[in-house]
Structure formats: structure tokens, C-alpha cells
Amino acid sequence: MAAPSLPSPRVIQVDTRGAVILHEESPETRDSRGIYLPNYIEPVSHIAVDVGGSLAKVVYFTRSPQPPSSPSLIATNGNGSCNASDWSPDSTPPMPGSKLNGALTPLILDSFPHQHHQPPSPEREHTEPEINQHFHATLLQRASLQNFPGGSLNFEKFETDNIDECVEFIQRLIERSAVVNHVSLEEMKKGVKITATGGGAHKFYDLFSSVLGIEIEKGDEMECLITGLKFITLIPTEVYFFSDELLHAVSHPETKTQPPNDAPLERPSPNPPKYSVSFEENPMPQLPCLLVNIGSGVSVIKVDVDGKFERVTGTSLGGGTLWGLLSLLTPATSFDEMLALAEQGDNSTVDMLVGDIYGQDYGRLGLKSTTIASSFGKVFQKGAKKRTFSAEDISKSLLYAISNNIGQIAYMNAEKYNLDKIYFGGGFIRGHPSTITTLSYAIRFWSKGTKRALFLRHEGFL
């Protein structure tokens, strides 16, 4: 029987009613929480892959006999993993370092009901009722995988330098799904395809195609980005922004009251223990808007009310710039280590401030004494002995320099095109308070409070 054609990802309409963002399992999964979709029941036949210059991201939809643990609307008391009891004895072992989140259930599986069981052995005769009984049992066995409504969107990321790990992950996902669905690996591969975007979709096309042996469809990067934005902003509590009070608390750590036991500022969540972060509880399409996507570089995209988009500008000074320079200037070996250093730094030892020049605020221009006049301005002083600066202070200074530059470019374009909503996405942000604060403050400062910076909890997966 000929396999049915696979539906294009572009025509899939996802039912987001009652969607829940699950709580992260560890700090490493902060930006890759699963999204539980209780009302979405249609099959999904593709795995989405975005291979950028620094990171490769994978998004896939699974269904499970049971819901994710504690699918609470608060979205902070559960996690995205299923218990071992969720799995039948013949399930394959979990993939190292990954979550158990059910199995892929592509549309084509509905075309193979007769292949769930082995044909009768020539040595043993089956009566027709026996065959029908066995067939009915196997259908029930499959139905048990799908009897809980809805399913989960799952998010994984890998360093592009280790792209083989990404390919192996997808290969294991397909193999495990074949076992759970009680179909052969060949049947599962017929029903699944990869929709790939990003520069790596072209660079690594042959690798994905040859190793996985499934159909690969390339998607335009900007088109995928805007489609992702329009979808993810429909998820409750996905979009958030920092209040003025929180901006002040993070920007002026010497004046804020520390949480109990001097705990670090937590990543935004619907009910953080101390700080109030505002969330979009009743989401709706937020168009027109400006999308500032910060990856290795930066793209600034104007999105019209009808969803049409245009990349209006960008800058080469993005996450890759921060990563590269801090690799040269500090002992940090990963982006997360660099952000951790920045969190402990004091940029005033490295940057020249307005107060260093004027000795006070420059009120006539609205510049406070703590405003950065020159990034790294204190590093070189003619005739003075060359000084040594801490890795923490260098990291903080460079983070501010990159973030301030992006914030200013974003504001100028929002002003040019008369857009009030400015979304920041991309793997550069990572839920890092200093980055969010800098971008938020920059937009508030230059717009005199008329525009607001908006952020996404899945910022790296648009």
C-alpha cells in the first residue's frame, strides 16, 4: 500500500488551549522546558531542527499513556519527564542526558494496523477468531499509548561543534518510538521527516540524510523564525517582561534586599519566590512588532499585522562576539561559564562612567553618574602602568557593551517603524538577569518609557 503524503508543517494548526509550560528539571534545562498541549490530538510527522553557528536545536512532539508529571497551570511544580511506570516492559532504555517524553506518533502509523503483529507461523494454524482476537489486542495495546489527551512539545539543544550528538539523539528518538509504537524501524522512518532550518541545514544536509535515512525538508530561516514567534506567543506565561522595580533591583544590587540565604536571582517563572516578573497570562497574537533575534549575530525583523516580515537590519556584534572575545580574555570555556562570571563582576572597574568624567550626574543631558560613557574606557590610560582586570569584571563590561548596542539598535528601528512591541529572542539571552535588565533598561531609557522589551521563555527555539 502506498504511504500517504506527509502534511506540511506550515499547514498544521496547533490547539494551544490550556497549554502549560513545565518546570525545568535543572538549571541546564531552563530554556528548554517542555510544553504540554492537553487539547492537541492530531499526529505530527516531522522533527524540527535548527542548526545555527553555535547551537543546534531540536523540537519534537510526543504522546504518552500518561500526562507529564504534575501538569499544573502554575507550571512550577512538575517536570517534563515521565516515570518509569509510564513505559511498557519492551520499551527501550532512556537516552543518556535526555527526558522520557512518550513517543513520536506520525500520521503514517495509522496505515499499518496489520503490521503490529507477526504473521501466523506455517507450523501453527490459527483460526479466524484467534487472529481477530490477537489483532484486536494489539490495537488496544497501541491505543493505550494514545489514550491520554494531548501531547508534549519537547526541546533539546546541542553545540554545533558536536553535531554528531544531535544526529545520534534523533536516531535514538526514532528507534525508541518504533519500539513504543510496536512497528518496525523501517515503518517509523517512512512516517517521519525532518524539517531543518539555519545555516547548518545546508551544511550538514548530507550528514543528516545519510545517517538517519529519512526525508529532509529545508525551511527558510526567517520564515521559520516568524512562524515560531506567532505560535509561541500563544502559549500562556511564555512572554514576560521586567517591571521597573525589578530593573532597579538587578541594576543596583547594593540597594536591593537579597533573597533568603543570599540566593541568586532566579530565572523568570510565573511565581518566583521574591521578585515580581510580569507574564502574559492571556496570550494573543502580538502583531505588528519588532523581533530582535540574537544568536551568533543579530537580525532585526519587522513583522506587520498580517504576518508579513522584512529583515530591516542587523549587526555582527552578537552572541558569537561575546563568546569569542571572552574566550580570549577569560579562562571560561562555555557560554554559561561566561555568564556566571559576568554575574559576579563589577563593570565600573573597567568601564569609564559619566561620573568618572564629570564627578557627578550630567543632569542637563539626563545622564546619571553611573551611565557608561566608554566601554573598557579605563583599561588604557596613557603613561600609566598597565593594569590587570578580573575575568568577572571583563565579562560584565563586555556583556553590557554588546547588550547596550543591541538595545539601542532595537529601539531606533522600533522608533523608525512606529512599533511599540519589541521581542528579544535567540540563544544569547539564556534568561540571564543582567542581559534582560540591560536590554529592558535600554528600551525604557531611549523610548522614555513608551516602549517595552518583551522576552520569551523558549527564546532560543523560535
Residue 356 φ/ψ region, left for φ over 0, alpha for ψ in the -120 to 50 degree band, beta for the rest: alpha
Which pLDDT value is given to residue 65?
63
Q: Exposure pattern of 25-38 as b/e (b: 16+ CB <10 Å)?
A: beeebbbbbbbbbb
* Structure confidence at residue 285 (pLDDT): 67
DSSP state of 63: B
Cell of 249: 533591583
Please compute, for residue 367, the number of CA atoms within 13 A of its CA located in the half-sphere on the CB side: 15
In b/e form, how buried is each residue of 222-234, taking b as 16+ CB within 10 angstroms? bebbbbbbbbbbb
How confident is the model over 403-420, as pLDDT tens digits? 989 999 999 999 999 998
What type of residue is 223?
E
pLDDT for res 38: 86
Please state, in angstroms and rounded to a whole number, the distance separating the CA atoms of residues 462 and 452.
20
Q: What is the pTM of this model?
A: 0.74
Burial of 462 (0-12, 13-18, 19+ CB in 10 A): buried
* Beta strand spans in 96-244 (E): 151-159, 193-197, 215-218, 239-242
* pLDDT value for 327: 93
Report how far residue 202's alpha carbon sits from residue 141's, in angstroms, rounded to the nearest whole number: 40
Are 455 and 424 contacting, i.e. CB atoms less than 8 angstroms apart?
A: yes
Q: What is the reported pLDDT for 243?
A: 73
Domains of the chain, earliest start first: 14-68+101-109+135-219 (3.30.420.40), 239-258+265-350+389-456 (3.30.420.40)
- At 318 the pLDDT is 92
Q: From CA 207, how far away is CA 163, in angstroms rounded?
A: 9
Beta bridge partners of 456: 239
Mean pLDDT by groups of 10 residues along the chain of 462 residues: 49 79 61 82 84 88 68 31 29 38 65 42 40 42 51 88 91 89 87 88 86 87 90 89 66 51 44 58 81 92 92 93 93 87 91 89 80 90 85 94 92 94 88 82 81 89 90
DSSP assignment letter at 460: G
Q: What pLDDT, on a 0 to 100 scale, did the predictor assign at position 410?
A: 95
Query: Which amino acid would we find at residue 269?
Result: S
Residue type, 72: S
Q: Rounded CA gap, 197 and 222, in Å?
A: 9
Q: What distance in Å separates the CA atoms of residue 177 and residue 47, rounded to the nearest whole number?
A: 12
User: Are 398 and 325 contacting, i.e. CB atoms less than 8 angstroms apart?
Assistant: yes
The region that residue 376 occupies, defined by phi over 0 for left and psi between -120 and 50 for alpha, beta otherwise, is left
Are 320 and 269 in contact by the 8 Å Cβ rule? The answer is no
Q: How far is it, in rounded angstroms, from Cα 423 to Cα 156?
A: 22
Say which residues have a Cβ less than 8 Å from residue 117's Cβ, sequence separation at least 6: 134, 135, 138
Please give the grid coordinates belonging to residue 108.
Answer: 503514517
* Residues β-bridged to residue 159: 55
Strand-pair category, 289-294 with 421-425? parallel
136 phi and psi, to 5 degrees? -65, -40
Q: State the cell numbers at 446.
A: 531611549
Q: State how far Cα 334 lies from the chain centre.
A: 18
